[in-house]
Amino acid sequence: MGRRKPGTYPYDYTPGDDRRFVDSGVGGTLRVLHGPGRGMGMTEGVVCRVEVLDGDGALLDEAEAGTLGKEHRLRGTVPGDRVEVTVSAHHESDAESELTTRTVVLTGDLADVVRFGVGPGWDQVAGADAGELPRGPASPTPQLWGAGVRLRGARPG
């Protein structure tokens, strides 16, 4: 399997990345998604914070809008671990955040994908990330924005 250009639609990983992941012993990966927009990394106007806690409530990882442009390995995890992921986000013109928390079980199988998030445009962001909707040239607005996560190697807990 040859290496393809990073950032290829709909996922931002390559077959080489998958091979390296399988050998790493890590339970899953996380990518923060924002939009809608062509690159799904559109952070213009979107304020977002993501926290990942292990089963004991210890912080495994945290990110803010724009800090995880690529998939990020959830270090310190193994397949079978339960983690709690919290997404808190809002459009910069609105001070009150929307919040969602989900518990997922890490499987170590990158074909297992869980997406969730907040905002009136979240369905568009998730659909574009999954390849179900085209990525348009739109930018986030106070009426149409979304922020969330894609967890690979995870299933709902």
The model carries a pTM of 0.82
- Per-residue pLDDT tens digits for 42-51: 567 888 899 9
When pLDDT is cut at 50, 70 and 90, the band that residue 99 belongs to is very high
Residues in the chain: 157
Mean pLDDT within 87-101: 92
Nearest C-alpha neighbor of 48 from the set 107, 88, 92: 88
Strand partners, 145: none
Q: Which amino acid would we find at residue 94?
A: D
pLDDT over 60 at 9, yes or no: no
The pLDDT value given to residue 75:
84
Nearest C-alpha neighbor of 63 from the set 72, 73, 50: 50
pLDDT over 50 at 7, yes or no: no
When pLDDT is cut at 50, 70 and 90, the band that residue 108 belongs to is confident
Q: Are 129 and 27 in contact (CB under 8 A)?
A: no
Cα torsion through 18, 70, 52, 126, rounded to 10: -90
Looking at the chain, the whole-number percentage of residues with pLDDT higher than 70 is 76
Cα torsion through 95, 47, 125, 12, rounded to 10: -170
Contacts of 126 (CB under 8 A, 6+ apart): 33, 115, 116, 117, 146, 148
Q: Reply yes or no: is the peptide bond before residue 120 cis, omega within 30 of 0.
A: no
Q: Reply yes or no: is the peptide bond before residue 36 cis, omega within 30 of 0.
A: yes
